[in-house]
Structure 1
């Protein structure tokens, strides 16, 4: 419960911190605007003018200075609008010939904000407007420093624009990096979910194949033992031995899967039981034979070693196909397993000699679904349906280019 409460409160704390940062930034903007106005107000009031270079300071001058600096508190919300208003006030201030220096910084900051928050085309247009206005103010410079004033305002305009444009590009890079980081995190989460889903499906197939096959054999042998328990003790004893062997093999397979889960390495499980493969088809045929279905295994072509995963896939498909013979073909007495080793493909056919019983063929059960899923993982295909000469047939084709 405490962990849940802490997790629920985490977004609230993040939202609170974000709100606090915004409030602090807004307060800083207001303080800057008011402070700049106060400094300019003091300079305008106390700056000496013994030679009458500028117009006498009056209420309109103070009002124009306030109109230049106070709107800067909103410069990040409406940078172009604030720039336009600031430019108009500065132009009016220069035209009326008030002491010019005190408003230059306000126009420079407005230009920097536009360059930092708006596209380059917009900021270049604003710079093209700001420079003539500032040059217009240099006519009010004291005699002897006119050229220096022109150089200063030109350099200041360029510096404000370059700094603002660089800040914008840096912010855009940060946003792109943040988007890429978020996209990467989502892709990692999606891959993790996909891996979990695939592992769950793989284990479901393994459990189905192991449990369905061995329980089918146990069920048939149990029925046989019960039927002949008093009349044919030897047959009953043989059936019980088969049940014991099948149960032990099922436990070994289950133990192997549990070790795979614990070790986290499906390719090299640290299991005392060997991983099933086509080399154990003889054992599988013998076990199915004790359930009443004789299995003939034939091989064509030159056998070659297969990758462990592909070998297990082929074995499980054969095992499930024979399990279906036991479960769904009560009239079948014989089944054949044909393994065809070709240079680039492995072909396996499992067919039985069962006669039609009037029941629908098992074309959509979990077993056939599992077979197709296994084959798809390795680029193979599984087809199932009635055999041309009667019975039911399952065909597996797996690409094995390079396995030989």
Structure 2
């Protein structure tokens, strides 16, 4: 249970007052007048305001020093009322800037010297040394406490900012996944639904095949969305019982994607060069999503074109290229927004490539059409090593 600051300050004030009262009973033994009722009142006024030191540090400091000045002026033992001003100086130094706290320490030093000047047997060298020494030590302790608190606040701000960035990055990752999954599958479903409606009465066989493609594509989309949701739930702290059973899509499923897009009306050829081998799951997913987004753009913006997907396995990296010819009657089939690389899907491609240390080029071909070329390293050293020979 956390104790409220006001309660802590109240306990400190009571403790200081108790110690001062007990010390005041020793005044006669120290050669000073005995404390009477008036003296105890000034002792209380020099200690009890400490209750509000956190809320009004400057006001409390001035109040306790004023009570201390009156107390020593009336001839009582100065040591009795020294505790309130000391804690007040420390508090101001821990809460206020140097330009304010240092003069406050000087005020305490001056009050102590004043008490020595009006005392008959005071040794001024000792009084001045104690006044300066205690004031500087208390001010230094308060200053260090203020610096530590500021560093803690700065660290908290940095941690909060880092947490916000991580949340934003996670949202971006989820958005890319949702875009890639939904955009691709819904594009195929839209094309096939239009085809089925167009030939529903004239060519039932084609309509039936289109409906079959819609069924398979929608089932795959739902499975990928379920997998993403299971991953998100497990990342939120579940016990792992909902962990995804199906593997993440990778290079082995490119043939399925090519077949699906081909059923959507865009002839696609898949070419694999080199010896297929296992690569990191993240790299596989990155390559798969880039091919998926590129073919989705062809399906949406370049109907009538032909596409080629090339996958090349090299020693330290893989290369993936998706090219399409210009559609009949068009100039590339890609809108200006996509040509300029400002679409959300193309931004997602670039972010994925950057995340895995790869490079990507997106743009029109000189002979017409469009190309997306991606290079991804397959190891931590691959980014610094080049190898143009296939295995």
What range is the shorter-chain TM-score in? Answer: 0.5 to 0.7
Counterpart residue number, 1:379:
357
- Give the Cα–Cα distance (whole angstroms) in 1 for the partners of residues 10 and 88 of structure 2: 22
- 1:87 Cα deviation from its structure 2 partner: 8.6
- Range with greater deviation from structure 2 (377-386 or 160-169): 160-169
- 1:132 Cα deviation from its structure 2 partner: 11
Aligned runs of 1:99-114 on 2, under 5 Å?
A: 102-105=76-79, 112=86
- Greater gyration radius: 1
Structure number with the higher helix fraction is 1
Change (3 A) 1:336 1:86: same
The alignment's TM-score, normalised by the length of structure 2, stands at 0.68
Q: Secondary structure at the match of 2:213?
A: helix
- Give the Cα–Cα distance (whole angstroms) in 2 for the partners of residues 235 and 403 of structure 1: 50
Q: Is the 8 A contact 2:27 2:34 kept in 1?
A: no
- Give the Cα–Cα distance (whole angstroms) in 2 for the partners of residues 106 and 161 of structure 1: 18
Aligned runs of 1:149-168 on 2, under 5 Å?
A: 154=126, 158=130, 165-168=136-139
- Give the Cα–Cα distance (whole angstroms) in 1 for the partners of residues 358 and 294 of structure 2: 16
Q: Would you say 1:366 and 2:344 are equivalent positions? A: yes
Change (3 A) 1:348 1:232: same
- Give the Cα–Cα distance (whole angstroms) in 1 for the partners of residues 181 and 84 of structure 2: 75
- Range with greater deviation from structure 2 (370-379 or 168-177): 168-177
The partner residue of 1:388 within 366, 373, 377 is 366
* CA offsets 1:72-91 (integer angstroms, 9 cap, x no match): 5799748699979989997x
Change (3 A) 1:337 1:161: same
Q: Is the 8 A contact 2:250 2:285 kept in 1?
A: yes
How many residue pairs were aligned? Answer: 354
Q: Secondary structure at the match of 2:295?
A: helix
- Give the Cα–Cα distance (whole angstroms) in 1 for the partners of residues 158 and 274 of structure 2: 45
Q: Would you say 1:353 and 2:325 are equivalent positions? A: yes
The alignment's TM-score, normalised by the length of structure 1, stands at 0.66
- Give the Cα–Cα distance (whole angstroms) in 2 for the partners of residues 37 and 394 of structure 1: 88
Unaligned runs of 5+ in 2: 51-56, 94-100, 383-391
Change (3 A) 1:169 1:373: same
Aligned runs of 1:196-207 on 2, under 5 Å?
A: 196-207=167-178
Unaligned runs of 5+ in 1: 1-13, 48-62, 94-99, 140-148
Q: Secondary structure at the match of 1:189?
A: helix
Q: Is the 8 A contact 2:294 2:372 kept in 1?
A: yes
Please provide the CA RMSD for this pair.
Answer: 5.0
* CA offsets 1:261-291 (integer angstroms, 9 cap, x no match): 221189x982232211112111111111111
- 1:402 Cα deviation from its structure 2 partner: 3.5
Q: Is the 8 A contact 1:29 1:72 kept in 2?
A: no
